Amino acid sequence: MKKLAFSSALLLLCATPAMADGPLPGVADEETEIPAGGIRDYQRGNGDVLFLRHVSDRWYRVQVTDGCLNTLRSTDTLVFGSNAPGQRIDRFTRVTQPAYNVSCRIESIRSSAAPPQIDSDSPVTLD
């Protein structure tokens, strides 16, 4: 089972949204935030894409900085450090892989259908 943690951290970083080239099937076009409450699961997409399942069972497609997930394995723990009110996850949140001392900046968060690893009929691609 994947381990997830949520920590509070002071972040003084400005991030700009990164949009994928064109619309993605099953993924909202608008940027969003993930409400406080915790992440139940994550699935790896292609490249620097994660799919996060919130405790409410809603899925989110998260794009992080280029090359940041190169060391991530499916059993690795991820820590989400946020200074946002209520500790929601937004573009100022850092995603850290403690085993490798790697910290990633979130570039994009968009609501998504479940990824194909979870739902074989999903319209979502791993890109």
Interatomic CA distance for residues 97 and 79, integer angstroms: 7
- pLDDT tens-digit map of 59-99: 999 999 999 999 888 788 999 887 777 789 999 999 999 98
Report the pLDDT value the prediction gives residue 18, as an integer from 0 to 100. Answer: 42
pTM: 0.81
pLDDT band at 5 (very low <50, low <70, confident <90, very high): low
pLDDT at position 4, please? Answer: 59
pLDDT band at 10 (very low <50, low <70, confident <90, very high): very low
What's the pLDDT at 95?
93
